[in-house]
Homo-oligomer: A and B are copies of this chain.
Amino acid sequence: MSSVLISEVGPRDGLQNCKAVMPTEAKKRWIAALADAGVQEIEIGSFVSPKLLPQMADTGEILDFAVTIPGLTVAVLVPNLKGAEAAIAGGAHKITLPLSVSETHSLRNIRRTHAQVIDEARAIAALVKSLPERKRPHFEGSLSTAFGCTLEGPVPEATTLRCAEQLMAAGCDEVGLSDTTGYGDPASVRRLIRAVRGVIGAENLTGVHLHNTRGLGLANALAAYDEGITTFDGSLGGLGGCPTAPGASGNVVTEDMVFMFEAMGISTGIDLRKLMATREMVAEALPGEELYGFTPKAGLPLGFKGEPVPAPVAAG
């Protein structure tokens, strides 16, 4: 049986795009419940200025809590060396540095050119390598707006490939592809995965971060899976989006993605019922926030993983 890793980014990408701030204790309960549902990797926050993103102000405390959960891979988004230092000090298992392939988006989002972000990547890689091996987090460079940008429009593939090469050369362990704006489609997802792997090697691109902006999130995930991608970011209830990308709200809904893979016989290790039960916690902690997802509303099919099956009827 094949399997995939679902990386839950709701506590980071989801919450940082919500107007309301989820209380710290609610975040902890949610993260614990996600882990209890079998989620093996959670991006729990990002070390950014609390003035810019008050939703992430408690990332240090959340990190301290999350690393106590047995078996959980705790991921943190870091915009720079300073953030990486904090994440490493807190014991994060994975740190992700975003590099927006659209330089306009990069400047608008984190006020840095490509060259400046690559400098940060180099500094972070040096820090990581200076650590004893057992303390080194996995260091991913994430190519955001890789499929297009709501500020620049289409993004040249050559730029994406150059950014991927530069991140690896700077010392990243891996590069991820992010459809920050929901511009991707199954054909471009397949094409870009092949192109990037052609440049940096298949083993250095194993994860994608997809949005559901135009409803194509799961189709794109399927296309990526067909290409051999094994790590899929998702956000519970589809929380999230991009503050500088108008209309680009909504990560892929974790619940629907888990349903898709499990229905296909591809193991996620996640108990879908327990996962869906955490929606209530989120709804309570974020009143007024819209939760997406079709599977939670429709319920699981009869006969699906222990769901009841009616008594057989006579064949016609």
Binding site for B on A (CB under 8 A): 103-104, 106, 113-115, 148-154, 159, 181-183, 185-188, 212-216, 218-219, 221-223, 247-250, 253, 256, 259-260, 263-265, 293-295, 297-299, 301-303, 308-310, 312-316
Contact = CB atoms under 8 A, between A and B. Distances in A.
Contact of A222 (B186, B213, B263): B186
A316 B154 contact: no
Contacts of A222: 186, 219, 222-223
Q: Number of copies of this chain in the oligomer?
A: 2
Contacts of A152: 302, 310, 312-313
B104 A313 contact: yes
B153 A302 contact: yes
B301 A183 contact: yes
A294 B215 contact: yes
A308 B293 CA distance: 31
20 contacts: A103-B314, A106-B316, A114-B316, A152-B313, A153-B303, A154-B302, A182-B294, A185-B264, A186-B264, A188-B264, A214-B260, A215-B218, A215-B260, A216-B256, A216-B259, A216-B260, A216-B294, A219-B222, A219-B260, A222-B222
B263 A185 contact: yes
A259 B214 contact: yes
B216 A310 contact: no
A140 B297 CA distance: 32
Given A212-B294, A214-B298, A151 B114 contact: no
A173 to B, nearest CB: 23
A177 B257 CA distance: 23
